[in-house]
Amino acid sequence: MTATTDPTTARPPIEEMYVVHRVFRREFALLPRLVRAVREGDADRASLVGGHLRLVLDGLHMHHTGEDEILWPRLSERAEPSAELVRTMQAQHDLVDQHLDRLGPLLEQWMRTGAVLRGEQVARVTDELRESLLEHLDLEEREILPLVAQHVTAAEWALLGEHGRGSMSFGQLPLLFGSLLEDADPHERAMMLDPLPAPVRLLMLTWGARRYTRYIRRVRGE
């Protein structure tokens, strides 16, 4: 096997990260508006929208824990002059976690009652989370991904996807994959689906796609 095809030496497909980040940019822009549009006392609608926010937050948590466990240790060891940058990324993860800690109790109360006042608090904290997250994603794309391309192998990069898939429940799988594929072009769709076992890939393209379409239309009130 040549160096260009050996997954232990081949460079990672870092373009996958842009697809993942696109989901967070899209959903955290939409969600505060959806929260604010819920009528006073409409607990059913609050539960649906809040459940989607929880799903996106779970996806973000999976994404960040994968980076914490897989990317940062390798970059800290191999890209030594950039150690300060890695520490900055870790600090940004900590800041996002602080927003998540604030958001959890507010979201639980709003989903139960549909109270507009509590919903506004949920939307405001989500806006603050988005602001911190966008700064983090921009820095990651600008500074971290070029380092990953130099210092992380394709096999190590694949561990991120395995971590994410292993962290998802069966119910989350079609919704999170549907979210990834929603705005993906044909090349990106293939890139995200190819690592899946063939039966799972077929399931995501059929039952999973239909389930996601029905689900997201309900969430967005379409």
Residue 140 belongs to domain spanning = 15-167
Residues 194 and 189: their CA atoms lie apart, in Å, by: 8
Q: What mean pLDDT is predicted for residues 117-142?
A: 97
Residue among 55, 64, 67 nearest 177 (CA): 55
| Of the candidates 166, 185, 143, 204, the residue with the CA atom closest to the CA atom of residue 14 | 143
In a domain, 186, yes or no: no
Helix axes 172-181, 209-220, angle to 10 degrees: 80
Q: Which residue has the tokens 């380092």?
A: 147
- Main-chain phi, psi angles of 35, to 5 degrees: -65, -45
What local confidence, expressed as pLDDT, does residue 222 receive? 81
d(CA 52, CA 58): 10
Q: Is 197 inside any structural domain?
A: no
How far, in Å, CA of 32 to CA of 119, rounded? 9
Q: What is the mean pLDDT of the chain?
A: 92
Question: How many domains, in total, are found in the chain?
Answer: 1
pLDDT of 180 over the 60 cut? yes
Whether 140 maps to a domain, the answer reads yes
Q: What CATH number has the domain bearing residue 58?
A: 1.20.120.520
* Chain segment 89-108, per-residue pLDDT in tens: 999 999 999 999 999 999 99
